Amino acid sequence: MAPKESSAELKAKGNKYFASHEWLNAIDSYTKAIEMYDQDPSYYCNRAQANIKLEQYGYAIADAAKAIELDKGYAKAYYRRAVANTAILNSRAAVKDFKAVVSLEPSNKDAKLKLAECEKIVKRVEFLRAIEVGDPPSAFEGLDIDAMVVDPSYDGAKLGKDMTQEFIDDTISRFKNGKKLHRKYVYQIIAAVRKILYDEPTMVEMEVQKGHQLTVCGDTHGQFFDLMELFRLNGFPTESHYYLFNGDFVDRGSWSTEIALLLYAYKWLHPKAFFLNRGNHETDDMNRVYGFEGECKAKYSERVFKLFSESFSALPLATLIGKKFFTLHGGLFSDDKISLDDVRKLNRHQQRQPGQQGLMMEMLWTDPQPMPGRGPSKRGVGLQFGPDVTKRFCEANGLEAVIRSHEVRMEGYEVEHDGHCITVFSAPRYCDSTENKGAYINIGPKHKLEFHKFDAVPHPDIKPMAYAQSSLMSMM
């Protein structure tokens, strides 16, 4: 069989994998098709779409660009490059590509709608930059929580000056039944936890005491009912069962306020036994696009989002477990000279948002790669680091491994870089479209890692990204 015909069969195989949400296998088939015959733009375009599903937006942009190089009139390739650029908040580039689609297909109503939405995003970003002030006043300023009255008709548990297990149990029950907390209690929880977080170091250093256990969880992304399944299987947080949530509590899933409020409630109840690291989605620009801001406004108010935003900026960036496991959301650094001491010294309070470069951005955004050295990011943001980089960092800082999250893993976790880099992801069937398991890691006083996997559970019929500001994001 001729290479062109064989490659077409591989493309068809990739399409079947894509239809069954097996993104990695789809990419593998498209890649083999390209290796056999590299002049068909549809192979690159299809692989771009699979890369979008895996949030590998940098790779998607490169694939779409290659498809366009092969066929300047390929509207679908411009469309997919626009979607990928939208995902990494590069809206100006996306507008340019959506315009190309509309020019090529003047009757394409969907492209016209997406162009209009993308232009709105650009205008909003420009507006926010125009009104931005260097040191904005605190969202807590003028917030008189004590003066707020809880209406007698409120049917939930009452919250006094301190968090209680009774209140948490009632909160879980309310959230399972689609109910909200009273706004006074929402304000109380965020205010109390913001203060606790602000006073913690940038890198929290903790030990697992005898008779205790620590569970490390990865991204939960607003998948509240899956978090409940994790707790059902593994036990709820207590003073002797520590938990560390390694960022990306919110966005994408449509119960992000429920997860954020519950995790904060536990942090208030167990401040020395419940730990939270910041993820790249505990940031303003991501929250505005991926749903959390819209969800806060829909369920509570714009002020609640601003309070959460301020509290997110207080979150620690890393946790050092037993001096052996450096745990952070993204990964390692662009410079081998960076050490744990540099992380300790980083004043995160001087920089509320991570920006486009620097230590904070790298801690929230970078990813491992199988090749040695460092490379450009498959996401289009940050960079990638190889096994040699991880080995040098661990040796220089006396570590056994780096534990990170930030990426879907089909089995819920993956051990890479000769055991020195561990990824854990706790949102099974991510966004209702990726057939992955969730996972968590249990660590006892002897620092042995125990990996556990779990499956997604049913949830009410509310789609992911239900509160996103634009229908563009539903395509991610």
Count Cβ atoms below 10 Å from residue 73 Cβ, excluding itself.
12
The H-assigned helical ranges of 21-74 are 23-36, 41-53, 57-70
Residues with active-site annotation: 281
User: In 3-state terms, what secondary structure has residue 326?
Assistant: strand
Q: Which helix (H) or strand (E) holds 375?
A: strand 374-376
Pairing of β 374-376 and β 383-385 = antiparallel
**Distance between CA atoms of 219 and 226, rounded to whole angstroms?**
11
What is the 3 state secondary structure string of 170-201? Answer: HHHHHHHCCCCCCHHHHHHHHHHHHHHHHCCC
10 Å CB burial of residue 49 (0-12, 13-18, 19+) is buried
**Distance between CA atoms of 403 and 217, rounded to whole angstroms?**
10
Question: Who's near 386: CB < 8 A, 6+ residues apart?
Answer: 368, 369, 370, 371, 372, 373, 374, 375, 417
> 26 φ, ψ to 5°?
-60, -45
Q: Which helix (H) or strand (E) holds 269?
A: helix 256-269
Pairing of β 274-276 and β 241-245 = parallel
